[in-house]
A and B are shown apart, each in its own frame.
Chain A
Amino acid sequence: MNPFLDTPQTSPGLWALAWRRLRADRMAMVALAVVAWFLLTLLLSAAGFIAKDWDAEIGVNYAPPTFMGAQSAEERGVQGMHAAEVATPDNPRDPLRDIIRQLRAEREGGANPALVQFDDYGIADPLAAEIAEIRAAQGQRNTTAAIEKRATLPLGADKWGHDIIQKTIKGSETSIVVGLTAALLATVLGTLFGAVAGYYGKWVDDCFNWFYSVFTSVPYLLLILAVAAVLQQKGVLTIVLILGLTGWTGVFRLIRAEYIKHKNREYVLAADAIGASDLRKMFIHIFPNISHVSLVQMSILTVAFIKSEVILSFLGFGVPVGMASWGSMLNEAQNELILGKWWQLAAASAAMAVLVTAFSLFTDALRDALDPKLK
């Protein structure tokens, strides 16, 4: 009797089994769907199908979200173009106080207003007539634009009247791409260093450990600032490099430990016995057995780096002006909040919170699926 007769020719490998376990985890699948949805919008926006015109000024400045209703310019806190002239109060320490008073008196006393115009400080302004013309022209254009500009937008608008929804979508592009590529870079570096240090041990390991210790003894933010200062220019690549070059340490520790553990396992000894080379043992034999550690680390780092991008942008080391990212949105929001404009902050935070939560849940489920013994 052949016990193998009924079984199929090929068997599910470890990844297939992990996927099966993942499929059975409902929470993981929901999280995965959310992440996939984010990635899909990212791809669509990168390809130019959606959020292409995110930087068109389609709303009035600080247009509130629709459900709050339209606000007048004063309510919005925007200084109108023809705001009533308010008499500037006297400055008691102004050395020109007396002259200004005199000039004001003259003006109010019936000097020809058509010939001599006075500015807010009461000083005669020779260009006043021209400026008034320009202002009038501008005012006209502004009024025609204001007709097209919408008073409210679904989730409001920023200072320039950009639609927050589109800006958030566009911003996801930067944030997620930065998060993913920086995490990939950090994981690759950490895995490579960890593999070499852990596998060879002895002085090689010592060298890597010294390097690691020095690297981690510098406060993280200082390190980021230092790298940012060295790289000089702002841009997505810079952020990826900053995060990638500083983020490998955690992965390094874990992978090194795994290699130390695995290099004395019998299957590696067996590989040695059949004459496998060091590289073969390191990457063909050991690596598939610990790849889940790298993978899980990478998804943890992705979450961390999406947040780091926000912090970097907040500190002013982020993406250049004119480029949307969740971090720069939050950075703008810090000034807006004083004016009570909370919607940009809300949109960026909500998008980030949802993505990060989904990603973290997915990461947890992934770890459980890859290493069911842990449970």
Chain B
Amino acid sequence: MAVESKPLLSVHDLRVNFRLDKHDKNSGFAAVKGVSFEIPENSTVALVGESGSGKSVTALAILGLLPPENATVLPGSQILYGGRNLLELPKSALRSLRGKDISMIFQEPMSSLNPVFTVGYQIAEVLRLHMDLTPRQAQTRVVELLNEVGIPDPAAKSIAYPFQLSGGQQQRVMIAMAIACNPRLLIADEPTTALDVTIQKQILELLAALQDKHRMSVLFITHDLAVVGEIADHVVVMRDGEIRERGTNEAVFSNPHDTYTCALLQCRPPLDSRPRRLAVIEDFMDGNCPAPETEVSKRGLSGSEPVILEVRNLGKSFYTREGLFGNREFKAAHGVSFKLPRGKTLGVVGESGSGKTTVGLTLMRLHEATTGEALFEGRDLFLMSKAEFKNYKRRIQIVFQNPYASLNPRFTVGQILSEPLLIHGIGGSDAKRTRLVNELLEHVGLPQVSYHKYPHEFSGGQRQRIAIARCLTMKPDILICDESVSALDVSVQAQVLNLLQDLQDEFSLSYIFISHDLAVVKYMSDQVLVMNQGEVVEYANSDEIYLRPQHPYTQRLLNAIPKAGERIRGKISAN
């Protein structure tokens, strides 16, 4: 922990408005409404909030990177750095600050690196711009930096192009670029969100080590309070453009004053217990911090449940052309076998590239399987003709990851939900179909007026409800949830998980729950299938996986999960 001293940077009453319509001067949206906080020297400040909280806008305002055509910083706002107000600095002065004194890391390393230059060149560019180094000196420094951020064989990697590096390495390069000029403040905007959980842990450790070594300050922006718990000295919680809570790490985590902070901490599915329902934001908004639910649901299988789907030795290979006639085989998944009992949930967990999504898509025959069989009530789904399979499509449905992409933007909700009924001839008449759709809307917690609305009028969580309702129209037996809650904010994620749980209880649905998030998978599933690089490394009851992980990979996954959430939950339930 850092010693308190005078602030390096202080934000005072920052207010930012966005113009929504370029023709209407009055259409404004207040993204940041009077935010004040300080970043002390040599410490890490975490800015936490869900989407739309204004945390990224605040960071961009510090760097002067807000789009001038539709963002206005209201008068009275101040961002003081070294005695100067950054908001009033001329552009040239600001430019010489950026990258040298204050630098930034973004969420997506792949899109922040220029694909046509080597990483060494891109790091050297920063050095040349701000440090006046000769090319030879710059090259030496580049290798030093790459070494410092933990890239193996730095000299060779400095002439690699971004696409030749993995996601974690790319983020390390971004960090190397950011610390190249020994900045005094590093702004990290969701630097680990796009990364796998094991890589996330490494990057967090790297950032903490660098912060200490270079005696710089870090402004760490994230939606995930648990991540913050490990590295931040100070925590600022934002919601809807306002600061809800501000304090030291200890204070915020052990004794949160604000109900919203409480809610954020409790909406995440806990690893060590399994409450029957997850807390949602509404539970907290009446002003008090309720204790976590103590009623726990039991999970796991005894082995005697009736099996609805049995998958044996499923494999899927992709082929890429190589040379004139050659084919290179890439095994996305192979040797995957499992049994799914009726009314139970099978969790599939793994990092990117583990083949978990491939398994889901292959079962739906959205990809054709290369090998193996999938016995659904004794019949192999993979051997059916297209016409035969159409009837089975009704019974296996899938909810995709991104509710913004999986709903056709040109259809109204009514059309989206009636379409499956129409295709499969369910319902008979239009009037009856409309009634069915309205019933379903109510079921997933959406008002009936949604019928005539378009998807873009709904929030992410509401859209995911629509996607779930679309699957339910066909009354499926199996629902495949492919990262269905990964793109949602923590509080919304809890609502959708609760909904899925209710629907399973009501319709005795079987779920195949695919996610990279072990905590969510463990919370939802009876059994868990851990996948790595296309192979199943562990397959057991979910509590078994958590308590007694057998495979080293599973252990690594478990270790990488930030534990801050558990800390607070322990505190609250103890009180």
Residues of chain A at the chain B interface (Cβ within 8 Å): 2, 4, 7, 9-11, 13-14, 24-25, 265-267, 269-277, 280, 285, 288-289
Contact = CB atoms under 8 A, between A and B. Distances in A.
Interface in B486-521: none
B337 interface: no
Interface stretch (B154-162, B377-385, B397-405): B397-405
B467 A11 contact: no
B276 interface: no
B553 interface: no
| Among A7, A265, A271, A277, residue most surrounded by chain B Cβ atoms (within 10 Å) | A271
Interface string B109-129: 000000000000000000000
B366 interface: yes
A2 B448 CA distance: 11
Interface stretch (B168-176, B201-209, B419-427, B526-534): B419-427
Contacts of A2: 447
A11 B361 CA distance: 34
B194 interface: no
B555 interface: no
B571 interface: no
B432 interface: no
- What is the interface residue range for chain B against chain A? 20 to 34
A285 B408 contact: yes
B283 to A, nearest CB: 16
Contacts of A9: 449, 452
A304 to B, nearest CB: 28
A276 B398 contact: no
A183 to B, nearest CB: 23
A288 B410 contact: yes
A273 B399 CA distance: 10
B424 A14 contact: no
Given A273-B397, A273-B398, A274-B419, A24 B23 contact: yes
26 contacts: A4-B447, A9-B449, A10-B452, A11-B412, A11-B452, A11-B457, A14-B410, A24-B21, A266-B400, A266-B401, A267-B405, A269-B398, A269-B400, A269-B406, A270-B400, A271-B408, A273-B393, A273-B397, A274-B419, A274-B423, A274-B470, A275-B394, A277-B423, A285-B408, A288-B410, A289-B410
Contacts of B452: 9-11
Contacts of B397: 273-274
Nearest to B400: A266
A11 B405 CA distance: 20
User: Majority SS of interface residues in chain B?
Assistant: loop
Contacts of B86: none
B449 A4 contact: yes
Contacts of A274: 393, 397, 419-420, 423-424, 470, 474
Interface in B435-453: 447, 449-450, 452-453
Contacts of B400: 266, 269-270
A266 B394 CA distance: 18
Contacts of A288: 408, 410
Interface string B21-41: 101000000000000000000
Interface string B463-481: 0000100100010000000
A329 B447 CA distance: 63
Given A273-B364, A273-B397, A275-B420, 5 more contacts: A266-B402, A269-B366, A272-B366, A275-B394, A277-B423
B390 interface: yes
A364 B394 CA distance: 44
Nearest to B397: A273
Contacts of B423: 274-277, 280
A11 B410 contact: no
A266 B410 contact: no
Contact of B409 (A24, A277, A280, A289): A289
Nearest to A13: B454
A280 B364 CA distance: 19
B336 interface: no
| Among A13, A272, A274, residue most surrounded by chain B Cβ atoms (within 10 Å) | A274
Contacts of A276: 419, 423
Nearest to A268: B408
Given A2-B447, A276-B423, A267 B454 contact: no
Nearest to B446: A4
